[in-house]
Amino acid sequence: MNQKRLDRVVANMAAQGLGQIVVSAPTSVYYLTGLYVEPMERMLALLIRDDGSCTLYANELFALPPQPDLPIKLHTDSDDPAALLAADLRPGKLGVDKWWPSKFLIGILSRRSDVVPVLGSAPVDEARMCKDAEEIAALRRASRINDGVMAAAIGAIHAGATETELADLVERTFRAQGADRSSEGQLVCFGPNGADPHHSPNDTVLRRGDSVVLDIFIPIRRYWCDMTRTVFFGAVSDEGRRVYDTVRAANEAAETMICPGIPMRDIDAAARKVITDAGYGPYFTHRLGHGCGLDCHEPPDNSSACEVLTRPGMVFSVEPGIYLPGKLGVRVEDLVLVTEGGCEVLNNYPKGIQIVE
């Protein structure tokens, strides 16, 4: 167990009146134990009590090594794992994280009518929001690699290229740099396809004057990188230039104001104001960003609805965009780290408008 991280979780449990919680998200289990498992349909559950004691419930197929400071209760595919966990629960509230499959929770409740489930993600989510030195080093390293992959992807743009071709190149380049496997894929969007913020690459062929949105992301040694750059192929229209300059200004307006103690919603508002003032408000259709770490999308939410105050160690994306249906899309995204004195932008690939020949 990582005792410092566990201590933060236990303190958060006390503040929220939770005497016991079940942690099932593989990344959160890894965060606390250093053990990573993809359980698929099988049960993986870390029970944490308010005295700091923990028990891990796992299938024998996970082949977990014994842990000197963590009891592990194993089950097989022929056992009922929910019954094993149910026997160890105290009466009263049980905090359950948002990822636990309902089949296990229902199994608990069918045996323990004296257990009351409540949403219990916050103690771990709040601990994970502020990265420690080891995590910050991992995120910096991942973003450095991302800078290089972005340069390779933009350097590979050529007449006749397809979105799928470039997306595959990005994936291969990441893997050559030691990235983990990921089922997420890469976002490469040409011209009008860029007006869909989550367009899936297809066989669209690049045309002169197209915007090229490259949103590339992958875990590297468990920690994610995530960056978007938009370039133009061969030429850029006056409208494309206006849209690009507006999005870049929105990105920089948000990053300039980041320091400890600011509500996340104010950061979103700063970027949104730039885009609205330029007349493109209705075409910025998503939140400004999301936390990033062991998961690509994790707290804090960088949106107009988030009242969380920034704290040193938080890492999140700043990714304003403008999406003009049938024409083009532009997004500029960095990962930023909140520091004691302000903000460190983890991505260094240039953000000036770029026309690729």
Tens-level pLDDT at each residue, the chain (357 residues): 999 999 999 999 999 999 999 999 999 999 999 999 999 999 999 999 999 999 999 999 999 999 999 999 999 999 999 999 999 999 999 999 999 999 999 999 999 999 999 999 999 999 999 999 999 999 999 999 999 999 999 999 999 999 999 999 999 999 999 999 887 889 999 999 999 999 999 999 999 999 999 999 999 999 999 999 999 999 999 999 999 999 999 999 999 999 999 999 999 999 999 999 999 999 999 999 999 999 999 999 999 999 999 999 999 999 999 999 999 999 999 999 999 999 999 999 999 999 999
CATH of 130-356, one of 3.40.190.10, 3.10.20.30, 1.20.1300.10, 3.90.230.10: 3.90.230.10
User: Do 128 and 31 touch, CB atoms closer than 8 A?
Assistant: yes
- Nearest of 81, 8, 14 to residue 41 by alpha carbon: 81
The Cα–Cα gap between 326 and 346 comes to 33
The Cα–Cα gap between 210 and 61 comes to 50
User: Do 356 and 212 touch, CB atoms closer than 8 A?
Assistant: yes
Domain ranges of the chain: 3-128, 130-356
Q: Does the domain made of 3-128 have the CATH classification 3.40.350.10?
A: yes
